[in-house]
Structure 1
Amino acid sequence: MVSNSAEHSRVDHLTEPQELCLKQAWTYLLQLWGTSVDGEKVFKDAQGGTPAPVSPAKKKNKSLFSKLQASYSGGETAGSDEDEQVGYRPDLIRETLKDVEPEAIKDGFWNMLRMDYPDNQLLRFLRARKWNTNKAVTMFARSMHWRVKENHPDEILNGGERAAFDEDKKGIIKNLELQKTVIPGRDMDGRPIVLCRAHLHSPKDQTEAELKDYAVLVIEQARLFLKDSVDTATILFDLSGFSLSNMDYTPVKFLITCFEAHYPESLGHLIIHKAPWVFQPIWNIIKNWLDPVVASKVLFTKVNEDLLKYISADQLPKYLGGSNEIDLDHYHKPDAANDVKMEDHETAKLIMEKRQQLIAKFIEATVHWIEADSKEESQRFLEEKLGISAQISHNYLELDPYVRSRSACDTNGILKM
């Protein structure tokens, strides 16, 4: 059986079956990009020489969650139970991305990485689909379609909070000024904490489109805190003062879909704090929408002292019983003076050229790794890939201030990249 533990399925700690799955996924992706790679070996069973499913699944009826996700993705849910692993299918990604140029997908993939290593980003999708390569690749393709053609999260992140003011997006501005969702620090495992103060939400304050863009902005900002060693976040829903007037199922559905379909394996804990009695029937509805993996990460806390089991006092805002001095009463509008490097297009171009060179080296090493004739050769190219991955991650640190507008997390010093 292929283990589904994230702790033991990093790119440098894979079992042989897991590494085979990753090689298969890269074969699909590289061939989509027009890179010549012989992936025949990784799609053949070692004994029989026939296509071998990695983790065949039994067909069963779609869950309520699957139907919910389908309604938000415009079609079949990514990696649904009906998608059987049937061996190598050359057009698997192309079928999903028929209206997107391969070069746009390539750019989208490398742009989305931030501090992630390329292999570990693909591994999120493989773990989410229990190492069924075809399901994982289909899920990944649908997520890339969402990023490139639908919600454009990279543009939302790079435009940042300043773009909301420049474009007069009143609903996003309202949420920013309320500081409805903030990142005050990290939990005891080093995960960034996304604190959502539910009593500040009013459905009439923003349009559905503005709410989605705001949610994506927060998620992508939280991703900036992730590193190769800490690659999940903790979401803390503070329900102090929550009433039925704050309830809005639309963003809840959108967030569930985001974390399951587009940011898989990115959630460490989901803490629901001080839920009032009126929340119980609401929770009875929501919990049926959750993927079982997400549902297993939900924790309920009743009093502030309970939070100290997961978050140290210096990282927890004062109003929740901690000693964190974060100012939740005053929001400072982003200043263009913080983004002066974004006007330096020449330096940005030089850093991007270096990035493209590193990407080309990574792809070349990946081809050799896939085509390796021995375990020793495969390991040598894997180590080369890891070295280049670290350089690509560092390159993003150099590039970041030239392409991304500074957020409140940058200017208040909470985000240290």
Structure 2
Amino acid sequence: MPATPLPTDGVVGKLTSEQERKLKEFWTEFFKLIDESPTEGSGAKSAAMQEASDKPGKDIPKDDAAKERMKAEQEMRDAKLAFIEYGSVRFMDAYWRLIAMDDPDGIMLRFLRARKWSPSAGVAMLAACVKWRMGSDVEKIFEKGEEGMKEAEGFIKQMEIGKTYTQGTDYFGRPVVYIHVAKHRTFDQSPKALEDFVLFQMESIRCLFAPPVDKINMVFDMTGFGIRNVNWRCILFIVKCLEAYYPESLNVMLIHNAPWVFQGIWKVLAPMLDPVVRNKIQMTKSTEDLVQHIPKAHLVRELGGTSEWKWQYPPIVPGENAPQQDREGRQKAQAARNALIEEYVEVTRKWIKTDDPAVTKKRRMIVDKMRAQYHELDPFIRGRGAYHRNGNGLVVWNYPSSSDEKSEGEWEVRGYETCRESCLLRAKVTEEELKAGV
């Protein structure tokens, strides 16, 4: 099956009138949830709710419709728990950390598409995700970076051996994430260190999205796979992340060169998967299968490609997280972001009630300012990682272009649209147009 083209609707800048109406409904539901919730959480959890919340993935029904119902019920419970336990102030702090460098509409649309354009179901899914981020170690890992995680059992070793890395894109510019399953050994790291590693990779790969690209391709290279490499908990955790916490982030998952023993595993695993994720999984056996999705010049040589690139872990630079100790700088950057957030929320509340193009334009201007300002805030709140050391603000792909518009051997540079300078320039032009009444 050939690579899937980029979407022509349902994403920022490409919404039908009906889709924009649904997005406005989503924001309306979201603001209503926030406005009607207590500002401070009690920390209390109802026993029944907590028991249900503590069993994600347990007793998963095989029927897809039943899975959908169970998932919706769980998300609604988690959404309620989020405000009982944390309150709306902490919830919104965590929400804006989830947004990070992204356009808020882009994140909202992910959850809206994941719930088939149902605003209420999408908001419940989003709230459950934010609750998960607050209750798990996502925010701690986010802040620590690799330097802060270097003492965690097996964490850096997983980076060094190249168990997983991102390199190259498909024919439409979506990053390719490789996972070499044979490099995984169950006892090389604790289950907690493995999950932390997965979360760190998920958060790091987000930095590599350059609009209109907002999905990845995953290649599970199962060459040399054996029973020693099986880790059910990790597999289910990755799938849970893709379907519930990073929805609409997967374009295709290619399970490559799976041995016969995997057929039995797949029969057990497949019914447990979310049907949307399951339909994005394809089995590949040859290089010819892979190049249906990934240009041969971008495919690593060990899988039959012609790319000479090899993973080499860029070591931690001592003190690379030093900006986090600059309290005054952090407070100043956070205050600037908070002011933009307040302005964005105010104009969004107006936008959901009007079709005035000036309001829409102002909202887009504030998004550009927020994205530009996040580059200033990021070093204070996010620990550095391998992808930061390879560049910041732009994604520079170290391989020949896949585009027919570029000459052979010309390298790709992605991310101009959302780099700090471009966002600031666009915001300035829009602000001048608004003043002139254009």
The TM-score with structure 2 as length reference comes to 0.76
- 1:24-43 alignment, distance < 5 Å: 24-34=25-35
Decide whether the 8 Å contact of 1:65 with 1:289 is kept in 2: no
2:118 maps to 1:132: yes
Decide whether the 8 Å contact of 2:64 with 2:275 is kept in 1: no
- Report how far residue 131 of structure 1 moved: 1.3
Instruction: Mark the CA change 1:185 to 1:348 in structure 2 (over 3 Å): closer, same or farther.
Output: farther
Equivalent position to 1:64, from 19, 39, 62? 62
* Between 304-313 and 138-147, the greater mean CA deviation after superposition: 304-313
2:249 maps to 1:249: no
Aligned position for 2:318: 336
**What's the secondary structure of 1:97's corresponding residue?**
helix
- Report how far residue 25 of structure 1 moved: 2.2
Aligned position for 1:384: 362
Residues of 1 paired with 2:155 and 2:344: CA distance?
Answer: 38
Residues of 2 paired with 1:191 and 1:68: CA distance?
Answer: 32
2:200 maps to 1:217: yes
2:199 maps to 1:199: no
Aligned position for 1:51: none
| AA aligned opposite 1:393 | R
**What's the secondary structure of 1:139's corresponding residue?**
helix
Residues of 2 paired with 1:125 and 1:64: CA distance?
Answer: 23
| AA aligned opposite 2:100 | R
**What's the secondary structure of 2:305's corresponding residue?**
coil
**What's the secondary structure of 1:184's corresponding residue?**
strand
- 1:252-267 alignment, distance < 5 Å: 252-267=235-250
1:339-359 deviation digits (Å, cap 9, x = unpaired)? 344444433333222211211
- Report how far residue 67 of structure 1 moved: 11
Residues of 2 paired with 1:162 and 1:69: CA distance?
Answer: 39
- Report how far residue 202 of structure 1 moved: 1.6
- Report how far residue 247 of structure 1 moved: 1.1
- 1:38-57 alignment, distance < 5 Å: none
- Report how far residue 257 of structure 1 moved: 1.0
Residues of 2 paired with 1:68 and 1:196: CA distance?
Answer: 31
| AA aligned opposite 2:145 | G
Decide whether the 8 Å contact of 1:316 with 1:324 is kept in 2: yes
Instruction: Mark the CA change 1:18 to 1:370 in structure 2 (over 3 Å): closer, same or farther.
Output: same
Equivalent position to 2:381, from 392, 403, 414? 403
1:257-277 deviation digits (Å, cap 9, x = unpaired)? 111111111111111111111
RMSD: 3.1
The TM-score with structure 1 as length reference comes to 0.79
Decide whether the 8 Å contact of 1:237 with 1:271 is kept in 2: yes
Using the aligned pairs only, state the percent identity: 32
Aligned position for 2:152: 169
Equivalent position to 1:97, from 78, 83, 97? 83
Instruction: Mark the CA change 1:383 to 1:79 in structure 2 (over 3 Å): closer, same or farther.
Output: farther
1:151-187 deviation digits (Å, cap 9, x = unpaired)? 232331231222221xx21132332232211112322
1:319-373 deviation digits (Å, cap 9, x = unpaired)? 2233444443x5444122433444444333332222112111111111111232x
- Report how far residue 390 of structure 1 moved: 2.1
Aligned position for 1:120: 106
Residues of 2 paired with 1:401 and 1:82: CA distance?
Answer: 32
Residues of 2 paired with 1:66 and 1:215: CA distance?
Answer: 26
Decide whether the 8 Å contact of 1:317 with 1:326 is kept in 2: yes
2:88 maps to 1:79: no
2:130 maps to 1:144: yes
| AA aligned opposite 2:31 | L
Decide whether the 8 Å contact of 2:166 with 2:178 is kept in 1: yes
**What's the secondary structure of 1:288's corresponding residue?**
helix
- Report how far residue 65 of structure 1 moved: 7.7
* Between 179-188 and 135-144, the greater mean CA deviation after superposition: 179-188
Return 5+ residue gaps in structure 2 as ranges.
1-5, 38-58, 397-414, 416-438
Aligned position for 1:352: 334
Instruction: Mark the CA change 1:394 to 1:69 in structure 2 (over 3 Å): closer, same or farther.
Output: farther
